[in-house]
Amino acid sequence: MKNFLLIIIVLVLISCREHPPKSTNTSISTLKWNLPLQHNKISKEIIPSDSQFVFEGISSTEVVEKCVWSFNYLFVDSSKKKAYLELDNNLKLKLLPDILKMDTTWIKEDIKAYLISKQEKIGNIQPVIIKTGGTDFSALILLTLDNNGNTISGIYLNIYDGSGPVIDLDSTMLLPPFTRCYFDKNKINFYLLSAWVNKYKDIPATIDSVSYQSIIDTNGNISIQKLDSVRYKRNYVW
């Protein structure tokens, strides 16, 4: 289990190239994001605000857990009144290769990416949250950008890679970890829950609950440290 948690830490924190932000007057708001096309049944309901992000600062990732895929759009929730903006290939290739560590052709052809939130600025650093997804892969990512919209560093807020359990044994299996993050200015608090469940018996699952904290410094770099962990047993719905 300790080895597994170490793997999770590595997955959670994958930093992109690190360099000092460039001095410029160009604002992130001048970037040309790919706006979703109007659909004659939902028309104005999916047109985003001028901010180009549905949210300007979320307090936790809980809001993203409510998103719904329909009509080829990623809607904010089941009401389907507003959709997230999808990044075009130019922006995907500008923002995502360093953190996804994927071939650029794969990113263009398989990965979809959506703007979720423009978080509170940290000096000249602009954190943004992007949701990505492809074949047997999905991740919520926080990137720190300089004034030109170039990526300084990045971190996975959650990640799912595969179509089933992380480990599948004869009678038990380890489910993909559940992660929720909370934001407080330049701090990100992670709550990670991993569960070993029994396939055939109605017995309590073994739960590992681990918390971490990430800090974004004034240069846009991200560090992470483990705060605490606890193991317990309880009934677990999966």
Please indicate, yes or no, if residue 8 is contained in any of the structural domains.
Answer: no
pLDDT category of residue 8 using cuts at 50, 70 and 90 = very low
Please indicate, yes or no, if residue 37 is contained in any of the structural domains.
Answer: no
Domain that holds residue 124: 51-234
Average pLDDT, the chain: 80
Please indicate, yes or no, if residue 90 is contained in any of the structural domains.
Answer: yes
Please indicate, yes or no, if residue 213 is contained in any of the structural domains.
Answer: yes
Please indicate, yes or no, if residue 18 is contained in any of the structural domains.
Answer: no
Q: How far is CA 181 from CA 148, 151, 231, in A?
A: 27, 21, 20
**Quick one: average pLDDT of 199-214?**
92
pLDDT digits (tens, 9 = 90+) for 34-89: 445 444 333 344 544 446 788 989 999 999 999 998 888 899 999 888 889 888 88
Please indicate, yes or no, if residue 81 is contained in any of the structural domains.
Answer: yes
Q: What tokens appear for 26 in the block?
A: 């160009």
Query: What is the number of domains present in the chain?
Result: 1
Question: What pTM does this model have?
Answer: 0.77
